[in-house]
Structure 1
Amino acid sequence: MAVSVSRDLTVQVLRDVNAVKLTDRQQALRAAIQRGEPKCLGVSQVMLGLMVMSYSIPLLFTEFTEVVSFGVPFWSGLTLKVCLVVCVLSTVLSVVAVVIYSVDMGNHPEVACIKTSEDNHCNNQYYATKLSRGLKSTLLLFTLAQTVISSIFCFLLFRQRDSVGQYASLTQAAPSTPTALTPPDLN
């Protein structure tokens, strides 16, 4: 903090260089966030969530397995928020969804093609499990992408929170504009 005293004993508190730099940095950070630099990640996350939910609709008409019973495509596609807590929750739920998809695909392999004697086509269960497995593989891929995006988003939000939080007390302690102090009249 810089202080100047004039001949008439007026004390003037000048702007602190560090406080000015801090204020400028905080304003630049706010401007960058308002410009929407993380918008592409948020849009990607929302689009992946919508794709996961829409691709999972045909699973409702196939055999009910762990993925369908737990509703994995629906709750893993809905965890799309931009705050840090929900982003961390999204990452954790995406990892859980990846595990459930993997276990479900391991527990329910494709059914072998049993050709019928009438028209030399495979039975319906073969086609149903083939469709189900293909959809689950696609959903697993989308959920992995969502996990990566959520993790990156969490990292960026956490880093921004730490870089701003440590300077919050400095801006409250020092005034942002110069103030003039006049000495009391002793006569």
Structure 2
Amino acid sequence: MAVSVSKDLTVQVMEDVNAVKLIDRQQALRAAVKRGEPKCLGVSQVMLGLMVMSYSIPLHFTVQTEVVNLGVPWWSGLTFITAGVVAIVLDKHCTMKILQVSLVATGASTLLAVVAVIIYSVDINRNLESPCAKVEHGSCSEEHYATMLSRGVKSSLLLFTLAQTAVSAVLGFLLFKERRSFGQYAYLNQDAPSSFSPLDLN
């Protein structure tokens, strides 16, 4: 807040230039974030996270492999959901702090999605489908069907995780770009210390 004193000792309170600039920049940040539509990308992340977790349930009833033992669908799904929720909150309450939290959550989501893709790929290549051993009535053994189901589910999870990697990378790029553009105005959020106190006037 700026104060001016005229010759007749009348005091006028004027608008603070920094406060006006901060408000303008916050509105510009909000508009820029809205253009990137973090809400849509956040909802996509939440939906992909829920799909990964729900589609992984049949894996617990088939052959136990590294994917199940490491709990990959669960921790990757929870990370996707968390990053999506933070992106949705960013759309409603657009501040630099929430933007930075969203950027960190999205970065973690992208990194863990890449790790999950690697684990899925290695697991699918290691655990091949068992050959069809004919049993009575000309059908294959249960082991053949179990490994076939396991590979099919893991292939679906791999596709969902690849989609999640793409969504997280795009959102992370957009958030990083906005943080870089408006990061220089973050210091305006802090209250500047007063240069004098009333005791100095005595």
**TM-score category of the 2 structures, normalised to the smaller one:** 0.7 to 0.9
Give yes or no for the alignment of 1:154 onto 2:166.
no
2:80 pairs with 1:61: no
- Cα deviation, residue 38, structure 1: 1.2
Structure 1 residue matching 2:138: 3-state secondary structure: coil
TM-score, normalization: structure 2? Answer: 0.71
Report the alpha carbon displacement of residue 20 of structure 1 after superposing the two structures with TM: 5.5
Question: What are the superposed Cα offsets for residues 128-187 of structure 1, whole Å, 9 maximum, x if unpaired?
Answer: 00100000000000000011111111111111111111133468799xxxxxxxxxxxxx
Q: Say whether the 8 Å CA contact 1:110–1:133 is kept in structure 2.
A: yes
Match of 2:51 in 1: 51
Q: Which residue of 2 aligns with 1:168?
A: 186
Cα RMSD after superposing both structures: 3.2
Question: Which entry has the higher C-alpha Rg, 1 or 2?
Answer: 1
Structure-2 change in CA distance of 1:96 and 1:120 (3 Å): same
After superposing on structure 2, the runs of 4+ consecutive aligned residues of structure 1 that deviate more than 3 Å are 12-23, 31-36, 168-174
Structure 2: which amino acid aligns with 1:72?
A: V
Larger helix proportion, structure 1 or 2?
A: 2
Secondary structure at 1:166 match in 2: helix
Please give the secondary structure, in 2, of the residue aligned with 1:27.
helix
User: How far apart, CA to CA, are the structure 2 residues paired with 1:168 and 1:26?
Assistant: 10
Aligned match of 1:3:
none
* 1:114 and 2:118 aligned: no
How many residue pairs get matched? 172
Which residue, out of 76, 86, 105, partners 1:86?
A: 105
Q: What are the ranges of 5 or more consecutive residues in structure 2 without an aligned counterpart?
A: 1-5, 87-101, 193-202
Structure 1 gaps of 5+ residues are 1-5, 175-187
AA matched with 1:121: S
Q: Report percent identity of matched pairs.
A: 67
Residue type matched to 1:41 in 2?
A: L
Report the TM-score, using the length of structure 1 for normalisation: 0.76
Match of 2:121 in 1: 102
* Cα gap change, 1:149 to 1:52, in 2 (>3 Å): same
Q: Residue in 1 aligned with 2:150?
A: 132
| 8 A contact 1:23–1:171 mirrored in 2 | no
